[in-house]
């Protein structure tokens, strides 16, 4: 490869592709350089300069930039492909036309269902696409330990060490969500971090305590060097001061960039350790708004210089993961991941995407294709509840035969990952909780779906907004992805749940008009349909939730986090209510007055 690169660079061999006469967005120097051209030797860039005529020969394909901007392909520094409900192939087809040419993906969703085999399948599929797809070995499977939840698999230091040996594209240890375990010396968590560091890999974080908390330096001391749980300027500043990379997130439901970017625009914090990421973005958000192009555009609108915003989504990201020799800039020797942009740079209007030296998308449409990836039957039959559910499965036993009770309820916070612990009054009747339709409360239930153990919990949920009898059931329930059901009518809850069970995974909404079913056959998390079809079904679910009164922004993603037992403040797993605080994680009773 070096022989070919240098031969093309000096003009002894013709370039395979030349992009000629554009304005180079040089993220290394922070400059916009006019009249620049780029010559490619196969998958890599051989030459960058004002005159590449010496590299043009017979067989060279020439793309006239005609004054358009030439920029490095965009990189997502933290993303879960499964959260789009698309497989890696469909995801690639959705984001490549938008200028995303690579990313650092944490497949902990499928790992919680299928373990190492799920990670391997995702990696194999990602390798078939034009994306520069780097995977991280999931660190928290299950997220907080078997005493708090039942996942489909359990990964420890030995499994992490194995996954990290699968190739250079397994880039590090994924977000360490069990941050209390790291801070207080959990052997399993520290063993996983040690395995990553021994392999020369990076460790990503997930720290949701306040930025000023004394535990953040402890977390950093353990080797965690990047974190996406930044929701305030202080969160960004404190991480950068500790030598960490601060990832500013703009997903569909968690929208943090407008606030966090002020650490740079208002406080003047050096941006070189700041990154733009998406974390979780729905299929319809990808198609309607965009992917990293959308996030870069948003950062610019908040006052970030355009070149700086591009650095936050290219070079900074590549340097954070130690792969700047391969991706993140338009420089000789790097992979030929380049985008051309029409109009003003701030518009981030991608017209051509080049991945590994090949034009893969033009004017918003894919021009490249690759063979379909086949998931085996074991990955498509993962929903094992063991029985058909009935109304009685959603009964909440009361500690008294009748009377009023104080109960804990989970309350989601719109556009944030956290929830509130809320205390409400409920009525006990004949030994069970009876909901008052005017209270606005729902029931929330989690059924273990990996081993048909019969494990389940039922609790209370506030703030969903259902204004009529309704229910939603889903096997997308971060992170253990058990069967999650929310509703205010036991009959509808059982109907929605049984619909999802019968199709081996997906999302069902009942209560207004015809039931809506979004089938997700791959691990109960993803559809291998095309991006447009996935977005259409996801939109249908969102509309069905609005039709029954739920007005939460990106309601599906918000509800899908209600079982994630490592994010404050109150969650539900198949093993009961879990409260998360700076003192740690503990199980709590639905009825605090009757707690042991």
Average pLDDT over all residues of the chain: 96
Q: How would DSSP label each residue in 380-403?
A: T------S---GGGG--B-SSSEE
- Two tokens at 408? 């804990």
pLDDT, mean of residues 10-33? 97
CB neighbourhood size of 435 (10 A): 17
Per-residue pLDDT tens over the stretch 293-314: 999 999 999 999 999 999 999 9
In a domain, residue 570? The reply is yes
- Burial (CB count within 10 angstroms: exposed 0-12, middle 13-18, buried 19+), residue 344: exposed
Check residue 368 and give its pLDDT: 97
CA distances for 292 relative to 26, 72, 101, 206, 278, angstroms: 18, 12, 10, 21, 7
Check residue 68 and give its pLDDT: 98
pTM score of the predicted model: 0.95
In a domain, residue 75? The reply is no
In a domain, residue 430? The reply is yes
Q: Categorize the per-residue pLDDT at 585 as very low, low, confident or very high, splitting at 50, 70 and 90.
A: confident
Residue given tokens 């490249």 in the structure block:
368
Per-residue pLDDT tens over the stretch 249-265: 999 888 999 999 999 99
In a domain, residue 346? The reply is no
Per-residue pLDDT tens over the stretch 466-522: 999 999 999 999 999 999 999 999 999 999 999 999 999 999 999 988 999 999 999
Per-residue pLDDT tens over the stretch 357-406: 999 999 999 999 999 999 999 999 999 999 999 999 999 999 999 999 99
Q: How would DSSP label each residue in 127-178?
A: HTSSSEEEEEE-S-SSSS-TTT---S----HHHHHHHHTS-TTEEEEEEE--
In a domain, residue 166? The reply is no
Angstrom distance (rounded) from CA 179 to CA 532: 37
Whether pLDDT at 2 is above 90:
no
Contact 18, 50 (CB under 8 A): no
pLDDT over 70, % of the chain: 100
pLDDT, mean of residues 551-566? 91
Per-residue pLDDT tens over the stretch 80-105: 999 999 999 999 999 999 999 999 99
Long-range own/partner contacts, residues 237-243 (CB < 8 A, 24 or more apart):
237/211, 237/263, 237/267, 237/269, 238/211, 238/212, 239/211, 239/273, 240/269, 240/270, 240/273, 240/274, 242/216, 242/217, 243/273
Angstrom distance (rounded) from CA 337 to CA 356: 5
In a domain, residue 9? The reply is no
Contact 306, 313 (CB under 8 A): no
Angstrom distance (rounded) from CA 274 to CA 244: 9
pLDDT, mean of residues 37-59? 96
Angstrom distance (rounded) from CA 285 to CA 561: 18
In a domain, residue 534? The reply is yes
In a domain, residue 413? The reply is yes
Per-residue pLDDT tens over the stretch 319-349: 999 999 999 999 999 999 999 999 999 999 9
Angstrom distance (rounded) from CA 574 to CA 230: 29
> How many independent structural domains does the chain possess?
1
Check residue 415 and give its pLDDT: 82
Whether pLDDT at 582 is above 80:
no
Whether pLDDT at 278 is above 90:
yes
Whether pLDDT at 45 is above 80:
yes
Residue given tokens 């893969």 in the structure block:
360
Check residue 570 and give its pLDDT: 97
Full domain range(s) for residue 525: 379-594
């Amino acid at each position: 490869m070096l022989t070919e690169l240098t031969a093309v660079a000096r003009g002894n061999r013709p370039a395979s592709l030349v992009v000629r006469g554009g304005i180079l967005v040089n993220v290394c120097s922070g400059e916009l350089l006019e009249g620049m051209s780029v010559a490619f030797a196969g998958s890599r860039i051989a030459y960058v300069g004002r005159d590449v005529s010496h590299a043009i020969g017979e067989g060279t394909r020439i793309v006239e930039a005609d004054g358009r901007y030439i920029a490095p392909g965009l990189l997502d520094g933290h993303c879960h492909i499964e959260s789009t409900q698309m497989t890696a192939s469909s995801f690639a087809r959705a984001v490549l036309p938008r200028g995303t040419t690579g990313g650092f993906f944490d497949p902990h969703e499928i790992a919680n269902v299928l373990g190492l085999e799920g990670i391997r399948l995702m990696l194999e599929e990602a390798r078939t696409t034009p994306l520069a797809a780097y995977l991280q070995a999931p660190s928290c499977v299950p997220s907080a330990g078997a005493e708090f939840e039942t996942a489909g698999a359990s990964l420890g230091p030995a499994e992490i060490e194995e996954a990290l040996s699968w190739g250079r594209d397994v880039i590090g240890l994924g977000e360490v969500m069990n941050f209390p375990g790291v801070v207080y010396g959990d052997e399993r968590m520290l063993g996983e971090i040690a395995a990553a560091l021994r392999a020369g890999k990076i460790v990503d974080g997930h720290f949701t305590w306040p930025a000023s908390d004394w535990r953040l330096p402890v977390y950093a001391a353990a080797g965690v060097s990047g974190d996406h749980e930044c929701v305030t300027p202080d969160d960004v500043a404190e991480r950068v001061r500790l030598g960490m990379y601060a990832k500013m997130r703009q997903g569909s439901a968690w929208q943090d960039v407008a606030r966090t970017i002020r650490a740079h625009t208002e406080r003047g914090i050096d941006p070189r350790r700041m990154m733009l990421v998406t974390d979780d973005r729905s299929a319809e958000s990808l198609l309607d708004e965009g992917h990293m192009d959308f996030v870069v555009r948003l950062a610019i609108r908040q006052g970030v210089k355009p070149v700086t915003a591009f650095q936050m989504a290219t070079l900074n990201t590549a340097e954070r993961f130690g792969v700047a020799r391969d991706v993140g800039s338009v420089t000789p020797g790097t992979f030929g991941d380049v985008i051309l942009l029409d109009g003003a740079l701030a518009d981030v209007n991608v017209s051509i995407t080049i991945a590994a030296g090949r034009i893969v998308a033009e004017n918003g449409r894919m021009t490249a294709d690759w063979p379909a990836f086949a998931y085996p039957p074991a990955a498509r039959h993962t929903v094992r509840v063991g029985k058909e559910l009935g109304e009685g499965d959603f009964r909440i036993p009361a500690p008294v035969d009748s009377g009023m009770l104080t109960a804990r309820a989970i309350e989601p916070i719109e556009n944030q990952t956290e929830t509130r612990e809320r205390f409400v009054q409920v009525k006990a009747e004949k030994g069970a909780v009876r909901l008052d339709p005017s209270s606005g409360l729902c029931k929330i239930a989690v059924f273990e779906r990996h081993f048909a153990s019969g494990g389940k919990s039922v609790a209370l949920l506030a703030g969903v907004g259902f204004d009529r009898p309704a229910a939603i059931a889903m096997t997308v329930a971060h992170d253990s992805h058990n069967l999650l059901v929310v509703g205010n009518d036991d009959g509808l809850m059982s109907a929605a749940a049984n619909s999802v069970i019968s199709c081996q995974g997906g999302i069902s909404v009942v209560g207004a008009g015809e039931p809506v079913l979004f089938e997700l056959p791959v691990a109960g998390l993803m559809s291998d349909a095309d991006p447009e079809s996935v977005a259409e079904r996801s939109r249908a679910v969102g509309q069905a939730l609005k039709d029954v009164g739920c007005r939460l922004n990106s309601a599906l993603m918000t509800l899908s986090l209600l079982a994630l037992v490592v994010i404050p403040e109150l969650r539900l797993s198949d093993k009961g209510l879990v409260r998360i605080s700076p003192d740690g994680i503990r199980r709590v009773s639905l009825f605090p007055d009757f707690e042991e």
